[in-house]
A and B are shown apart, each in its own frame.
Chain A
């Protein structure tokens, strides 16, 4: 039980500053996304590549997650045992996921939209899947 024994006094934190920081980072994410999207659709040559946008988005997301974890979830004020309870699963999660990303290449074409001439083509069976399926199913996106 969290009582005076465990928390002698309320932990002071810059609540509104943290709130504004979270809002600013979210706005930066969405702003970056919208700028990139409109630029990419217009074919603007000065728009950064998708891979670079991904990296920037990750860089913007990490501080947001850290603010919630460190301040809102009180890890900054907790004993080392609790910090360990929070960090160990994150480390194990990273160990589990990172090896599966070994073949990841940000410049691989596989995660981009399929070229128009290949859309509807069943790559596994080598025939035109769109021809054998209803039109509305093949053109969801």
Chain B
């Protein structure tokens, strides 16, 4: 591949298109990496900055306040055991997604489809539990407009939950595509790139769980 790329760079555009390695969907590789993977990583880079902005703002605001709810306070609003269970579900979904990708790479399409379906369902359970948590918090008077803690909490977990929701929709779509036989050992880029997004959302939750709920 590197030989082909180096060779292509010494010729004109017509020759380059002829010599450069083609991927299954026709994109031309100059880096040896598919355009889709570069695109998803650039997107995830912007997402890293987005969530860092939220987390950074949370840390600065929290440590600048004279009053902030702590776990030892009476009536502390957050339900840590329930959220720990939710964390467990999200970790499980990442594992089932890795298992799905591995199955598709081995052309075990049925197993791959079932694992993708499991990922979708577990992701939906995560969103459902978060919705239940929001309802409970609202009933206990913890709302986005209650205080700064409420604003920060709903902003961080809300944006993350929205990302998970989008991921669940994407997972449902690729589960259907997998059931229709769209993926194989030679064509699994959509699963891999969607998986990168899903794992990133899992990664963000691992950080949010520690910062928002435990600290």
Contacts and interface: CB of A to CB of B under 8 A. Distances in A.
Contacts of A90: 48
A119 interface: yes
A114 B72 CA distance: 12
A29 to B, nearest CB: 6
B13 interface: no
B59 A112 contact: no
A52 interface: no
B66 A110 contact: yes
Contacts, number: 181
B69 interface: yes
Interface stretch (B37-45, B123-131, B162-170, B173-181): B37-45
Contact of A85 (B38, B67, B209): B38
B37 A86 contact: no
Interface of B: 1, 21, 23-25, 27, 29, 31-34, 36-38, 41-42, 44-46, 48-49, 52-53, 55-56, 59-60, 62-77, 80-81, 84, 87-88, 91-92, 94-95, 97-99, 102, 105-106, 140-142, 146-147, 185-189, 192, 195-196, 199-200, 202-203, 206-207, 209-210, 214-215
Interface of A: 1-7, 10, 13, 15, 18-19, 22-23, 26, 29-30, 33-34, 37, 40-41, 50, 54, 57-58, 60-61, 64-65, 68-69, 72-74, 79, 81-82, 85-86, 88-90, 92-93, 96-97, 100-101, 104, 108, 110-114, 118-119, 123, 136-137, 140-141
